[in-house]
Amino acid sequence: MGAEPAARRSKDGLVAAVINFNTAALTRRCTRSLAEAGVERILVLDNASAPGDVRQLVEAHAGDPRVHILRSDENLGFAGGSNRLVDHALAGRLDLDVMVSAERGLDDLPAVLDRLEEGAVLGREVIRF
């Protein structure tokens, strides 16, 4: 066994954030993938989805202590939703490591974060559908 990855040395373990807007099934696949990759806390913001989607999102994550679902009564957009998640992380004194798009995902998250210097920023291409 090698040394513990740098990304996992923070007091909170590896923390990721995901925004959901009427994509509960896709968001669940994303959170499952993150958990399997070793992410210890996953913050999910529901960005004012339809009631049925919210219900599906909550039921899909019931009993999973790694996933914390926040709700917004209005759609804040990706930037506003991201800011809300960062504010929530900071208020809880969490070190938020990565924002993940449920649509794009990040298959090799731990390996990518291990290669970053402390304080580095990891960016992804943003595609508008």
19-45 pLDDT per residue, tens: 999 999 999 998 988 888 888 899 999
- Residue 43 in domain: yes
Q: Report which of 29, 31, 14, 32 is spatially closest to residue 122, judged by C-alpha positions.
A: 14
- Residue 57 in domain: yes
- Beta strand ranges found along 12-109 (DSSP E): 15-20, 41-47, 67-72, 98-100
Q: Is pLDDT of 11 > 60?
A: no
Q: Domain count of the chain?
A: 1
Cα(5)–Cα(13) distance, integer angstroms? 10
- Residue 6 in domain: no
- Residue 125 in domain: no
pLDDT average, residue stretch 91-116: 64
**Amino acid of residue 27:** T
118 falls in which pLDDT band (50, 70, 90)? low
pLDDT average, residue stretch 91-120: 63
Cα(9)–Cα(17) distance, integer angstroms? 18
- Residue 104 in domain: yes
Q: In what order do the strands lie in the sheet with 41-47?
A: 67-72, 41-47, 15-20, 98-100
- Residue 8 in domain: no
CATH of the domain at 34: 3.90.550.10
pLDDT at position 28 is 93
- Residue 31 in domain: yes
Structure tokens that stand for 63 in this block: 């009993």
The lowest-confidence range among 12-21, 97-106, 117-126 is: 117-126
Structural domain for 42, as ranges: 14-113
- Residue 5 in domain: no
